[in-house]
Chain A
Amino acid sequence: MATAVMTTLDPNSRSATRGMSDLTIRNLFIIPTIVFLIVFNIFPLLYSLGYSFTDFRASSPAAANFVGLQNYRELLNDPFIWSNFAITAKYVIVSVVGQVIVGFGVALLLNRDIPLKGLLTTLLLLPMMLSMAVVGLFWKLLYDPSWGVINYALGLGNFEWLSNPDMALYAVAITDIWMWSPFVMLLSLAGLSAVPKHLYEAAAIDRAGSFYTFFRITLPLVAPILMIAIIFRTMEAFKTFDLAYILTSQPTTEVISIRLYKMAFQEWQTGRSCALAYIVLIMVLAITNIYVKYLNKVKER
């Protein structure tokens, strides 16, 4: 495969006349990327693993002392950290489920011949093109109990979306659903348009009901691509920081990345925050692995 790609170098091209071999060109493209990855990703990753076993504080000139597993032990015994994880889990479930329902639903609606379909799809994609910080700032205004549009439109009076500790996390999730449902919609739409039409025709001939058609034809065929959307969204939701940080400061919305930020850059507990970052990384990897296994199973069907 690789050689097939490489032999396509046109003998009359400038590179070829300059005497560059295929190998040189390949290296020219690949080496900078690998160097970049090593310098900015792999090296810090390993370096911070080292720090996670020390009491290092970036704010202090004192040398780091090796403390073994103490950081991990204390973090996993800290009830506040566990409550941060519970909040994150709740947030991930609410926001990803919401995005799948809304995104897939809209995709089903759009998956037919309607006028201005292209324009409509583009407009629906707008939210996800905005920056998280901007979305956070203007949803904060929309949710405002005194002058926000949402309460006015829904006739909710002074309902406190962001100050109510029980509601705040849902308010953040609603904003996230608004922003990222279009992403799920886009992928689902791609999946839906790839379902062969003759399957539906066959189902119609067999007089299959619409529920049966949906659960036995549409969903199984779209499932692999939908799973990819879910993997992306779960990973992103797990890492959510900006939206929750900007919208509210309720302890009930303190997702794990906000705790991590405070630990690393307000308290300057560098060693311990590296340990927490590793715990989060392991969790994200584990969850992603489960998904990928499931995705492969779905594909095999």
Chain B
Amino acid sequence: MRKLVTSALAGIGLTLACGTSVYAQDKELTIFWAEWDPANYLQELVNLYEAETGVKVTVETTPWSDFQTKAFTEFNAKGSAYDMVVGDSQWIGAASEAGHYVDLTDFFNKHNLKEVMAPATVKYYAEYPSASGKYWSIPAEGDAVGWSYRKDWFEDPKEMEAFKAKYGYDLGVPKDFKALRDIAEFFHRPDQKRYGVAIYTDNSYDALVMGVENAIFSYGGELGDYATYKVDGIINSDQNVKALEVYKELYSFTPPGWAKSFFIEDNQAITENLAAMSMNYFAFFPALINEASNPNAKNTGFFANPAGPNGDQFAALGGQGISVISYSNNKEEAMKFLEWFIKDETQKKWAELGGYTASAKVLESPEFQNATPYNKAFYETMFKVKDFWATPEYAELLIAMNQRVYPYITGNQGTAKEVLDSLAADWNATFKKYNRVK
């Protein structure tokens, strides 16, 4: 028996010894991100880094629905499983205040990234608090909400004639939300199993809120004053009431069962011939021009989020920056990786692989803008984006907004004004709780 135990222990010891020696020879880096196509593109990109330097980089992913939970569980436990994270833009307040992210201000200034990257990406992915000059991540995947539509339905002469007769103007890519609404109504034909529009409605994370933001921002509204935390009269402004009403109206032109829809469902609306127009992040558009994943690829067009009644035109920001995690054992190696990542040629390669670079130089290049049918719309959108709150308590703000807005949009409860007034009260209470306002 004793012999057995001794030999078993020796075996374990040997394995451990081998394990550590291998570890010491090959440096490895792990990047944590959500499970979606851009993460696969990133893996392809970092394979080039391994070829160059011999440092193996792995992109580890988890479904969107538990990305936030899993990342913060690891941060809170001060775990070193991940060296870097491509974290959501809203996390930056929570992660920087709690010390989960390494301060990248020096790195940012040394490489003049404020000029190198598109301004909106610096403002929303990297800087916290707002306008403080402190930076916590490197803009990695730029993203914003855009729209895809069925060119063949829009260009059908019969449809064009019928549309003009009904609405008095030509059917075409919607210039404003009124046209968007009219076109959605026009194509909404449940008896033919054809519906007007596909929008975001999933309330389990931030999908519905980002959908609503598209209307609010283009109607000239704001969610609040991000510097003073004032929300009264801003979140429940007249523009926002109108914007919420129009979003609810759009919901009535969606396919049946559209109450828990996010990017998968919205792309399906186009591939399955369900809807004339569909809201989605640019990051999901590569699948729509690929004939293998979209039988209607040739007939799919794209446009930027339309303007509101006063000509304001904005879109909800998506996308993420890459941050170094404070508890990583390979921080130095991670910084070396970032040096490589921000190089112009790396950013160019990143764009070629399908990643949405935030590098202003690449975005402005004609090669990028002509590479796909939607890149130009993406370039234009990235200079007029706005985002949700990035304060550490953003999750409470998000859940409150879901709780108030969702029953109104999908369940006809209350009026837009009541909903936004209650939301203003909820948010005020939250900010009071964290001593942001008196």
Quick one: CB contact mask for A157-195 with B, threshold 8 Å, 1 for yes?
010111101000000000000000000000000000000
Q: Is A58 part of the binding interface, using a Cβ–Cβ cutoff of 8 Å?
A: yes
Question: What is the bound-complex CA distance between A266 and B67, given in angstroms?
Answer: 10
Q: Which residue of B lies closest to A62 (CB)?
A: B98
Checking A80, A163, A251, A268 against B258 with a beta-carbon cut-off of 8 angstroms, the contacting residue is A163
Partner of B259, one of A144, A163, A265, A269: A163
Chain B's closest residue to A259 (CB) is B399
What is the size category of the interface that chain B forms with chain A?
20 to 34
Contact pick for A249, options B76, B204, B393, CB 8 Å: B204
Distance in angstroms from B330 CB to nearest chain A CB is 22
Q: State whether B395 touches A145 (Cβ < 8 A).
A: no
The verdict on A80 contacting B403 (CB below 8 Å), with A59-B98, A61-B99, A146-B274 known, is yes
Check if A160 sits within 8 Å of B257, measured CB to CB: yes
Asked if A216 lies at the interface with its beta carbon under 8 angstroms from chain B, I say no
A99 within 8 A of B: no
B411, A165: Cβ atoms closer than 8 Å: yes
Complex contacts, A248 vs chain B, CB 8 Å: 259-260
B256 touching A158 by the CB < 8 A rule? yes
Contact A266 B392 (CB under 8 A): no
| Residues A266 and B256 in contact in the complex (CB < 8 Å), given A61-B98, A251-B403, A251-B406 | no
A45 to chain B minimum Cβ distance, whole angstroms, is 20
In angstroms, Cα B397 to Cα A262, docked, is 12
- B105 interface residue (CB < 8 Å to A): no
Q: Which residues in A have their C-beta under 8 angstroms from that of B205?
A: 266
Q: Residue among A249, A250, A267, A269 with the most chain B CB within 10 A?
A: A249
Which of B98, B193, B256 has the most A CB atoms < 10 Å from its CB?
B256
The smallest beta-carbon distance between A258 and chain B, in angstroms, is 9
* Residue on B nearest A168 in the bound complex, by CB: B259
Interface residues on A, range: 20 to 34
Question: Is A13 an interface residue when CB atoms closer than 8 A count as contact?
Answer: no
A270 and B255 CA atoms in complex are apart in Å by 39
Report if B202 contacts A (CB, 8 A).
yes
Q: Do B72 and A249 have beta carbons less than 8 Å apart?
A: no
Is the CB of B132 closer than 8 A to any CB of chain A?
no
**Assuming A60-B392, A266-B69, is B257 touching A145 (CB within 8 A)?**
yes
Q: From known contacts A60-B97, A165-B410, infer whether A146 and B259 are also in contact, taking CB-CB under 8 Å.
A: no
Chain B residue nearest to A269 (CB atoms) is B396
* Cβ–Cβ < 8 Å partners of A61 in chain B: 98-99
Q: Which residues of A contact B (CB under 8 A)?
A: 58-61, 80, 144-146, 158, 160-163, 165, 248-252, 262, 265-269
Known A144-B257, A251-B203; 18 more pairs at CB < 8 Å: A59-B75, A60-B94, A60-B98, A61-B99, A80-B403, A146-B193, A146-B256, A146-B257, A162-B257, A249-B202, A249-B203, A249-B406, A250-B410, A266-B205, A266-B395, A267-B396, A268-B76, A268-B94
Measured CB to CB, the residues of B under 8 A from A are 68-69, 72-73, 75-76, 94, 97-99, 190, 193, 202-205, 255-260, 272, 274, 392-393, 395-396, 399, 403, 406-407, 410-411
The 6 closest A-B pairs by CB, nearest first: A163-B259, A145-B257, A145-B256, A165-B411, A158-B256, A267-B395
